Amino acid sequence: MQMKPLGSTSLLVSALGFGGAPLSVQGRPERSQAEAAIRAALESGITFFDTANTYSLDEHDLGHNERLFLDAIPADRNCIIATKGGLARPGGDWTYSGRPQALREACERSLTVLQREVHPLYYLHAPDPKVPFEESFGELTRLQAEGKIEHLGLSNVSAAQCGIALQMAGVAAVQNRFHFFDRRSMDVLDYCAAHHISFIAYSPNGGPGQAARLKEQPLLQELSRQYEASVHQIALAWMMALSPQLIPIPGATRPESVRDSAAAAQLTLAADDLAKLNACVATDAIQS
């Protein structure tokens, strides 16, 4: 698989990554299947893995996904396992946890779980509405100054918040929801492209709730036949063509899904087909 630099750093990551959430949250598969999915990612050339301390069933299971990646990815594979802090899982719910002390504890706990001294890429999982953004991100910049974080990332942010963060420190990656039916972060993608920041598209197949919807979209169906590729591959290839800064991180519980999505990195769509897919925005996509 093609490799590309993360933002303007010297860190190289695969052009398409793998997201671990479905392997650790509610509805997760047996351990053997989870390991098979990760093996499928490695065999497909993926070296960029996405996790978070909170990819778990609840607060008693924090670090489940980080441990899974640590165990399943051989240490000599030179992979990047990026993680995040800033959310919590009380009783299995998702809540914000962006206070500086909580972020510090989460970051340090993840270092212990992942058995490393420094995170190559550590994201603020989401701005906490009850904590000024500068306070949360400021704590991550302090952790970076202390040598615990190499590169900083943001997730679930606006272009304006990216601008605030860039005044404070370098940002290597921004991770927002982006898929065929949800293009609301197009302005953030544009911002990232202009500032040489990687835009990490999460839920690029629509997430577990909407991935099947891709199969019903007429243009995706038509191009799927034309290119002899799955609708998921067409949708992923479309978004990767939007910007060299865009890196999708599909997630999956089945090794077949992992292999299918990974093959999108090898698919090049013709310019007129890309134009048709772009134009779908008017009829199919969720608009902000």
Q: Which residues bind ligand NAP (CB under 6 A)?
A: 19-22, 50, 125, 155-156, 175, 202-208, 211, 230, 232, 249-254, 257, 260-261
Closest approach of Cβ 77 to ligand NAP, in Å?
18
Which of residues 218 and 275 has its CB atom nearest to ligand NAP in the complex? 218
Comparison of 11 and 68: residue with beta carbon closer to ligand NAP: 68
Of 19 and 98, CB closest to ligand NAP: 19
User: Between 218-227 and 231-242, two packed helices, what is the crossing angle to 10 degrees?
Assistant: 100
| Residue whose CB is less far from ligand NAP, 136 or 175 | 175
Q: Shortest Cβ distance from residue 165 to ligand NAP (Å)?
A: 15
Give the nearest distance from C-beta 37 to ligand NAP in angstroms: 7
Nearer to ligand NAP, 11 or 22 (CB): 22
Cβ at position 229, least distance to ligand NAP in Å:
10
Residue 36 CB, shortest distance to ligand NAP, in Å, is 11
CB 228 → ligand NAP: shortest distance, Å? 15
Of 80 and 211, the one with the shorter C-beta distance to ligand NAP is 211
